[in-house]
Structure 1
Amino acid sequence: MKSNKRTITTLLSILFLTLALVVNGRASGNFTEDQLVVNFLSTGSGIDHKAKAKFQAYVKKFQKENIHKPNLTIEPWGKEGETKYIFDLSPLSVKEKDSFKKTITEMFKGNKRISVES
């Protein structure tokens, strides 16, 4: 019985994450090559607050250390802190874009509650 509940819970979590990515990710039709989208997701237990704090600290540091700053749109979309951060990287140089994207992608590699699309 526990195995069936766990399987159902896992399948529902996968379904929810897939729907969240489709609704809030590239499928929205607003994605461009000069964008980086970071989506904090929840599967019923809230977002990863430690990762979000680390992310916000990095963005603040990047903006302080670089002349060119990415434009940022923040879209809260859920009841448990789910939030989409959309960065317009067009003001950045190619080197700055690559560095920004690489750092954030590596920061959340393997974290199932955070989606990074570039």
Structure 2
Amino acid sequence: MATVLAWHDALNARDLGTLVELSSDDIEIGDAHGAAQGHAALQDWARGLDVQVEPGRIYVHDGVVVVEQQITSVTGETGTGASAFRVVHDKVTSVFRHPDLATALAATDLDEDDLTG
């Protein structure tokens, strides 16, 4: 969970060095529109973001971390979403963005029993 929180901090700060450090060499980044793999793809994706992503409720089970997120665009518009992370040896190996928490939990087979804190 700490790795995923640090990953969010690095993403919001656009600290690409730390983001890469927290991610495996073959990290996969995806959403409903497709996926990309590797540090170069991660950096391109992070550079292209025009939002801040604040973590909310966090669900954890066997290296899978689902984070409910509050998303704020540069224009001030807000929304919610969720991302599912796979963490192995303190490195994010994949992150998949979902439109909402229910979809992310269903995709990962996590549920309310996996809610932290």
User: Which structure has the greater CA radius of gyration?
Assistant: 1
Higher normalized strand content (fraction of residues): 2
- What TM-score does the superposition give when structure 2 sets the normalisation length? 0.27
Higher normalized helix content (fraction of residues): 1
